[in-house]
Amino acid sequence: MTSSWYPQFTNLCDWYTHLLQKSPTRTIHIHVLGNTITANPKNVEYMLKTRFDNFPKGKNFSTILGDFLGKGIFNVDGDLWRFQRKMASLELRRNSIKSFAFDVMNNEIQNRLIPLLACVANNKDEIVLDLQDVFRRFSFDSICRFSFGLDPKCLELSLPISQFAISFDLASQLSAQRAMHVSPIVWKIKRFFNIGSERKLKKAIKLINILAQEVITQRRKLGFSNHNDLLSRFMQGDIVNETYLRDIVISFLLAGRDTVASASTSLFWLLAENPRVVERIREEANEVLGLNQELTSCEQLRELHYLQACVYESMRLYPPIQFDSKFCLDDDFLPDGTFVKKGTRVTYHPYAMGRMEELWGVDCLEFKPERWINKDGVFIDENPFKYPVFQAGVRVCLGKEMSIVELKSMTLSFLRRFQVELAHPSHHIPRFSPGLTASFRGGLPVFVREIN
């Protein structure tokens, strides 16, 4: 299959986009994979809302990611999923949690990210900085402090990056590669004989389990009655099973680290290519906050409509999760007339949907934040089934608001102090590395300069 798309398209997701654009229904079937793929909003709504119970993640998906994600919220269906979602929803809605998250992010930005960038910018030798690596470190620190009350200090470049983070990246990449095999028999045989990629995955997961257990043990030793982090709140409840707690730790990291780092990388690549957008962000910040005034609350962030539009527009073109798959429980027909046989893998494709002219206009390939702003200068959200970047319906992302706050806070603080320039300017589409979330192959090398 690889040979059929590689010469013409930079990424597999671009090949799928091409095929979906040519389909009158915006739905295709890849026979060799037994996979129906759609970029039709009506089909997405049908899968995620109307017939939600007929399109679970399914046993096949859970098996592929089971060694890595266990029975965490991203890898289960039914009562177990409902229980975890209810608990997470109750906690994330609390004002005390929102306030704690904002304080953690702001502290990480002001006391680590900004000093790091200033050090690079003021170095007498022009330094090439990999922003993707910086964003991964930043989001890993933030999610660990917020979720576990522990500080890995990844953003202190003088220290080696956390072994937890390295193993997590490898496990994510190798788990995703399982889904690329024509048949699951291939990776299952490799796992049985403990060879190749499965040997590496087993080693990475073993280390993740050890480190996750250390997080849980340390949290218990420190006590959690007076702590606001999410893990402490979960541990005060009914969850006492160590394996279950481990799965929750991994789910928190996947939700709060990889997706934010991916979104940040794509956003800054687009901003570096579009200096006029950067200037408009700065103008809006000065209008709302005042010249040289610091961000002090989430309420101020809500007034930054153009910045919000930039974040959404970036994820329209480069969603952190490029596609998401479900499995059909019983024979069904999608709204566009496509018959889906029981047991078929059905995938909706946010990456391709962001490139459909009938959804976004003839300029759909352009980075144009203005498409999200009305005549009064106010940000207007879109139908979530047209823009399923945060999923939609019953499984809509619980951390959506928190991730937007983190992206806006970090971007605002960065751009008000620094100018970013691509070290290797190119208007070509980035090449992505395999993984559960999108990442740039080769990182995002840039020059960072202070603004006078």
pLDDT digits (tens, 9 = 90+) for 246-271: 888 888 888 888 899 999 999 999 99
Higher-scoring residue by pLDDT: 80, 317: 317
Reading the block at residue 108, the tokens are: 């990480």
Q: Helices 131-148 & 95-108, crossing angle to 10 degrees?
A: 140
Look at residue 132 and tell me whether its pLDDT is greater than 80.
Answer: yes
Choose among 57, 68, 248: nearest CA to 173.
68
Is 378:308 a contact under the CB 8 Å cutoff? no
pLDDT higher for 58 or 47?
Answer: 47
Distances (CA, A) of 39 to 58, 95, 264: 21, 36, 24
**Mean pLDDT of all residues in 116-134:** 93
Taking a C-beta distance cutoff of 8 angstroms, is the pair 222, 238 a contact? Answer: no
Give Rg (Cα) of the chain.
22
Among 110, 171, 117, 104, smallest CA distance to 143 is for: 104
Q: Is the pLDDT of residue 7 over 70?
A: no
DSSP label at residue 224: S
Over 80: is that where the pLDDT of 452 sits? Answer: no
Residue 60's alpha-carbon distances to 33, 63, 179, 415, in angstroms, are 13, 5, 10, 44
Closest alpha carbon to 287 in 305, 308, 271: 305
Say if residues 197 and 208 touch (Cβ distance below 8 Å). Answer: no
Q: Which amino acid is at 33?
A: L
Nearest to 261 by CA among 426, 403, 447: 403
pLDDT at residue 191 greater than cutoff 60:
yes
Range of the domain at 123: 2-450
Q: Tell me which of 216-225, 277-286, 343-352 is least confident.
A: 216-225
Least confident of 23-27, 249-253, 332-336, 439-443: 249-253
Two tokens, residue 371? 């498409």
Is residue 83 exposed (0-12), middle (13-18) or buried (19+ Cβ within 10 Å)?
middle
Inter-residue contact 270 to 367 (CB < 8 Å): yes
Positive or negative CA dihedral for 224, 108, 407, 280? positive
Query: What is d(CA 72, CA 256) in angstroms, rounded to the nearest whole number?
Result: 14
Can you tell me the distance from the alpha carbon of 368 to that of 370, in angstroms, rounded to the nearest whole number?
Answer: 5
73-109 residue pLDDT tens: 888 888 888 888 888 888 888 888 888 889 999 999 9
For residue range 283-307, what is the model confidence (pLDDT) as tens digits?
999 999 988 778 888 889 999 999 9
Alpha helices in 23-128 (DSSP H): 41-45, 58-69, 78-92, 95-108, 114-121
126 or 374, greater pLDDT: 374
By percentage, how much of the chain surpasses pLDDT 90? 60
Strands 35-38 and 345-348: parallel
Which residues are bridge partners to 376 per DSSP?
Answer: none
Pair of tokens at residue 427: 């208007």
Contact 342, 32 (CB under 8 A): no
**Spatial CB neighbours of 281, under 8 Å, sequence gap ≥ 6:** 271, 306, 307, 310, 411, 412, 415
Angstrom distance (rounded) from CA 205 to CA 357: 42
Question: Which alpha helices (H) appear in 223-304, and where do they start and end?
Answer: 230-235, 242-253, 259-273, 275-289, 298-302
Query: What does the pLDDT average to over 318-346?
Result: 96
pLDDT of amino acid 3: 46
pLDDT score for 295: 82
Give mean pLDDT, residues 401-419.
Answer: 96
Mean pLDDT, residues 228-254:
78
CATH number of the domain bearing residue 97: 1.10.630.10
Residue 1 has pLDDT above 50, yes or no: no
**Amino acid at residue number 372:** W
pLDDT of 32 over the 80 cut? no
Average of per-residue pLDDT values in the chain? 90
Comparing 35-44, 79-88, 337-346, 366-375, the range with the smallest average pLDDT is 79-88
pLDDT value of residue 161: 67
Task: Tell me the mean pLDDT in the region 372-399.
Answer: 95
Q: Does 154 appear as a known binding residue?
A: no
Which pLDDT tens digit goes with each residue over 143-181? 988 888 888 888 876 666 678 888 988 998 999 889 888
User: Is the distance from CB of 354 to CB of 21 less than 8 angstroms?
Assistant: no
> What is the C-alpha separation between 16 and 352, in angstroms, rounded?
7
Closest residue by Cα to residue 60 from 256, 275, 327: 327
Cβ atoms of 404 and 92 closer than 8 Å: no
Give the chain's domain count: 1
- Picking from 183-192, 287-296, 396-405, which range would have the lowest pLDDT averaged per residue? 287-296
- DSSP, res 255: I
Who's near 71: CB < 8 A, 6+ residues apart? 80, 243, 244, 247
The whole-number pLDDT of residue 225 equals 62
